Amino acid sequence: MKNLIFITLAIFTIGLQAQNSKKAESLLNEVSSKVKTYDNMVIDFKYSLQNNAANVNQETRGDVSIKGEKYVLNLMGTTQMFDGKKVYTIIPEDEEINISTYVEEEENNITPSKMFSFYEEGYNYEMDVAKNVNGRNIQYVKLTPKDSNAEVKNILLGIDNQTKHIYNLIQTQDNDTKITITVKSFKTDQELAKNLFTFEEARYEDFYINRLD
């Protein structure tokens, strides 16, 4: 009789977990589908990195412009640009530019252009807590890597239930370092400069250009 109860409870629990996962998948797909309707996005955000054990607590602001796979990211005094083929990392302080060819199979980081679709492969997901943030209903979805050797322990995606836009992303690594990206401004279908995603080498005559491939 006890075994029957345990089996029934196990089946019930598995059923709830599957239902939870389906809800999470449905919400994530809504976010992804909505983003795909925009021609471009311009996002201002707050970036924080925290590791209590190492007594590290950094916070700064950044911005990113995204059009399809292309993006220009400004963060910590560095500009990173992806024109669809190559990644350009421009470091004005060192007067240095690193240029590399983007290889999707080797890219494990969540790039700006992948922020709304990275979860589609390599993650299990489930609904997490819901919070009221300044009158906004933010539903969190927890993503856990399928790869047990991944450096990332889990990712929490906070989604505004009304707009279906991402409010924040909280990434916890195996060493308990926590990286939080919080969207402060989200603009869509903006008038972008035609050459925004084009690297113009002539503008950096005094820079050392390091071609990594």
Residue ranges of the domains in the chain?
Answer: 4-69+109-188
Question: In sequence order, what are the residues at sequence separation of 6 or more whose Cβ sits closer than 8 angstroms to the Cβ of residue 24?
Answer: 125, 126, 127, 141, 142
Predicted local confidence at residue 109, as pLDDT: 59
Mean pLDDT of 108-135: 81
Q: pLDDT band for position 14 (50/70/90)?
A: very low
Q: What is the mean pLDDT of the chain?
A: 84
Euclidean distance between CA atoms 163 and 132, whole angstroms: 14
Which of 3-17, 84-98, 122-136, 152-166 is least confident? 3-17
**Higher per-residue pLDDT: 2 or 83:** 83
Please check the confidence at residue 47 and state whether its pLDDT lies above 50: yes
Alpha-carbon distance of 184 to 212, in angstroms, equals 34
Q: Is the pLDDT of residue 11 over 80?
A: no
The CATH architecture one would assign to domain 4-69+109-188 is Clam (2.50)
Question: pLDDT digit string (tens) for 188-197?
Answer: 999 999 999 9
Mean pLDDT of 77-99: 93
Task: Give the highest mean pLDDT range of 106-110, 111-115, 161-165.
Answer: 161-165
Separation of alpha carbons 57 and 210, rounded Å:
31
Share of the chain above pLDDT 90, in %: 52
